[in-house]
A and B are shown apart, each in its own frame.
Chain A
């Protein structure tokens, strides 16, 4: 950990002013306030100083200076992350990559695009649309989140089941190490010799290096996409239907589930004509060639009926498809409207455990006297239970945190994980002690030290110290709460 003194920071400040224009350094309270948190606003901390470099050389200089003075650095993209991964440090530099917002190259022949890290996820697909290509991972914040942040968090989205996470959809990264060296990880080709540092870097939450360029893989746009909305009178039946679709050899582009409280909230908000009396709905999207989708749609419709669907609705054109998705995509802000506060969980479980987990969550909901609206990426077992509470009522936040912790514990017990796509960050650092043993956590620290021996890059995130785990002695939750209900989150 850093032992930087005030003198170090004073010296660093002087040197930063030598390598950066005045407009690229933010120091006043008013200027640094917007950087005090990311999408998880429960945690906030104003950074000591914010730098906004615009060239690779500037980033190299910043890191060399921080390295020399022993001052920690937290990199930040759009700040839409949900686990406090970009939470600044009071004694540290906040390195914003917002000015790295250019698309550098589109290479349709190689089905790839090379972009700067501050380019928004959706902007990539928009830019390559003329070539009939797109970038597959679509995290819910895709309109705002940046590709650099996506790589740092290994972001997912609704189409992971078929198209994978960020780690499956990138070819090459340019990264600056803490000592200021520019390295190229991966390549423009499919295989690269040596260790798979691309996998290691993806999802490393800014702990190993600062990403300054990303080459993403692009996919041809499917000819056709259609979505089926299936209603069920029983949540468990809906959960079983999910397994049945996959068991039949069909990999839907998206397979999402909502329970009754989520359906009602979404319908009130988005008016997507959802069946508000249903106990659960499934949204099953199929994409591919015209022939393939036509063939599969009928098959899945029949299958869902056999599995107990009480009603079905299938989109027959693009506007109907988007309307059916609208309810699902508005689920988070919709829940935000019916409850003063909500807390979003992100556990993942083996799909077969879905009925079990749903039952347990329902029992816990009664025990804690807190309502839960469930929205799931059911196809890949990623749960987003939203616990509804009111922070103004004394004790509710604490009960919510405890409840949330129990859900994550259940996920680990069921053979799953504490985070499917939101990352550990600051939020779930204590639950890491539940998921991993000391040996594994120690190896994570060893990996960190292989890249950043002085622990200057985003220290205190993603991997808890063994000391911390020992003190917790098991499960003890310090989670935050999700804010920004206005941002789509699915």
Chain B
């Protein structure tokens, strides 16, 4: 069941306020590379959320699970699997100790995202500790809730800069009855065209990716529907398909053996990224993983021209620690101002993960 350590975490924040210490929030520390490097901030202490763990409630027929932020993703996924359910947004773990809080704070979704929804789509409620040390609850455990601003979803991807997550309620879904992956050899150009066609069809898709001259089409649903779609899609049925998708999601696929910085480009569906770099295309052409040592300006400008944005996902090892550039694409001035305003309200003394998302937040 885990232990409720809210009081301890609250005391830590209050103490930090008192001592004017900045706090770096750490869950399983599996996504430490993501976002700006804040370890060089002066007077930073680590606040660990892993101590605050445990699944608080789970009612399979309600499709809702509530857990403390420090709960290991593994534990949650195992419980869901036992009940034939899943986290539909397929959060990447990037490490054995990945926590639910980390998944929500980073807001990263896996290959199923274009067809099932993203992390934030499945967040129903949160309990947080603000930078003032206040415990607050938003949203709830119900699917429909329009009372008050949607602070719960605002937490997703905020990298802990607006509050320390204490509890999260998420919507879960039944596992598909059947799931198979078809693999078809084709050129990138052909693949983009095929992805576009499939993406507009009513086929039971759950992932569309392309790498190394091969298109991967994952189909999920009722057995008969999947079988019929398999026939229509063609190609060969991939053996050990789960491994393939897991390797993509967890970046253990050989593509992710890095010799250059890894960029993540979120772009409109089937954009043609023309940076002439080796890429892994996911999300039906809406997500490109790119290894490139081109300048941030060039990559970010290209993504922006396509209507998307580029993130420096993993700086190359050599650069780690010395890299002072922003990892995320620059924001429009007024939007940035709104970010600063919000940060000021949630964390007026700038103690929570200051600088992790943008260097001035």
Contacts and interface: CB of A to CB of B under 8 A. Distances in A.
Most buried by B among A154, A291, A444, A446: A291
B146 interface: yes
A5 to B, nearest CB: 28
Interface in A173-225: 177, 181, 183-185, 187-197, 199-200, 202-204, 220-223
Contact of B328 (A167, A193, A462, A463): A193
A131 B145 contact: no
Interface residues of B, number: 86
Contact of A189 (B120, B138, B268): B268
Contacts of B309: 187, 189, 191-193
A246 B286 contact: no
Contact of A183 (B107, B335, B346): B335
B1 interface: no
Nearest to B114: A190
B121 interface: yes
A110 B268 contact: yes
B63 interface: yes
A131 B200 contact: yes
Given A109-B270, A110-B268, A292-B204, A190 B118 contact: yes
Contact of B158 (A195, A349, A450): A195
B145 A294 contact: no
Instruction: Tell me which of B61, B113, B358 has the highest count of chain A C-beta atoms within 10 A of its own C-beta.
Output: B61
A434 to B, nearest CB: 10
A295 B145 contact: no
Contact of A194 (B114, B307, B358): B358
Contacts of B283: 190
A200 B149 contact: yes
Contacts of A423: 146
What is the size category of the interface that chain A forms with chain B? Answer: 35 or more
B157 interface: yes
A416 B142 CA distance: 6
Interface in A78-118: 107-112
B269 interface: yes
Interface stretch (B17-25, B40-48, B93-101, B222-230): B222-230
Contacts of B204: 288-289, 292
Contact of B286 (A161, A164, A189): A189
Contact of A417 (B147, B157, B268, B334): B147
Contact of A220 (B61, B138, B158, B202): B202
Interface string B316-341: 00000000000011011011001101
B261 interface: no
B136 interface: yes
A199 B154 contact: yes
A422 interface: yes
Contacts of B147: 417-419, 424, 428, 432, 435-436
B148 A440 contact: yes
Contacts of A196: 107, 120, 153-154, 156-158
Contacts of A294: 224
Contacts of A451: 338, 341
A375 to B, nearest CB: 15
A153 B222 contact: no
A160 interface: yes
B307 A188 contact: yes
A192 B266 contact: yes
Contacts of A199: 120, 150, 153-154, 156
B235 interface: no
Contacts of A185: 335
A436 B146 contact: no
Interface in B95-125: 107, 113-114, 117-118, 120-121
Given A168-B121, A289-B225, A188 B149 contact: no
Contacts of B136: 437, 439-440, 443
B313 to A, nearest CB: 12
A438 to B, nearest CB: 10
Interface of A: 107-112, 131-133, 153-154, 156, 160-161, 164-165, 167-168, 177, 181, 183-185, 187-197, 199-200, 202-204, 220-223, 243-244, 246-247, 249-251, 288-289, 291-292, 294-296, 348-352, 377, 380-382, 415-424, 428, 432, 435-437, 439-440, 443-444, 446-447, 449-451, 462-463
29 contacts: A108-B200, A111-B199, A156-B144, A164-B117, A187-B307, A189-B309, A190-B266, A191-B309, A192-B266, A194-B339, A194-B357, A196-B154, A199-B150, A220-B200, A291-B228, A292-B224, A295-B223, A295-B225, A350-B62, A350-B141, A350-B142, A352-B61, A377-B144, A417-B145, A423-B146, A437-B136, A447-B342, A449-B341, A450-B341
